[in-house]
Amino acid sequence: MIDEAHVRARLNRARALIDACYDEPLDLERIAGEASFSRYHFIRLFKQAFDQTPHQYLMNRRIEQAKDLLIAGELSVTEVCFAVGFQSLGSFSALFHRSVGQSPKLYRARVLVRGWSQHGFIPVCFLTMFGVERAA
């Protein structure tokens, strides 16, 4: 019988592969193989451990990285799409909108225009309380 710590370590190995290679074409076979589980057993264990499927984790990882790249403003939306591992601008834009609530283009525009940080809005009272000066 395999102990829980060993299973968790194998799942963490697979998650680390996703984190390191999110921008590459990753399939379930490769990710499950990293943890040495069959595909369906791996999906079930991954969901139990991390409250999302491996595919959901991969898509969330890509969207989070896309948000960072959009904020940086150095790449076009299309370049960001391909840089984070999507094969289609349409599927990237649709998933981004579903996850973030706005299109990648609008997200970038709002962040840059309003000067939002990637960590979201921080109320002025908190900034004052911790002695942090507001950016002009």
Are 65 and 104 within one domain? Answer: yes
Neighbours of 6 (CB within 10 A): 10
Asked if residue 133 belongs to a domain, the reply is: no
- Domain containing 97 equals 56-114
Q: How many domains does the chain have?
A: 2
Are 24 and 62 within one domain? Answer: no
Cα separations in angstroms, 124 against 18, 97, 118, 121, 136: 37, 28, 16, 9, 13
Asked if residue 129 belongs to a domain, the reply is: no
What pLDDT band is residue 136 in, cutting at 50, 70 and 90?
very low
Angle formed at CA 16 by CA 119 and CA 81, multiple of 5 degrees: 55
What pLDDT band is residue 80 in, cutting at 50, 70 and 90?
very high
Asked if residue 69 belongs to a domain, the reply is: yes
Are 38 and 81 within one domain? Answer: no
Are 41 and 64 within one domain? Answer: no
Report pLDDT digits (tens) over 52-62.
Answer: 999 999 999 99
Beta strand ranges found along 8-104 (DSSP E): none
Quick one: average pLDDT of 105-124? 70
Cα–Cα distance, 2 to 9 (Å, whole number): 11
Are 14 and 39 within one domain? Answer: yes
Convert 56-89 to b/e letters by CB count within 10 Å (16 or more is b): ebbbebbbebbbebbeeeeeebeebbeebbbeee
Are 87 and 109 within one domain? Answer: yes
Asked if residue 95 belongs to a domain, the reply is: yes
Q: Is the pLDDT of residue 125 over 80?
A: no
Q: What is the CATH number of the domain that holds 69?
A: 1.10.10.60
Q: Is the pLDDT of residue 123 over 90?
A: no
Asked if residue 121 belongs to a domain, the reply is: no
Asked if residue 46 belongs to a domain, the reply is: yes
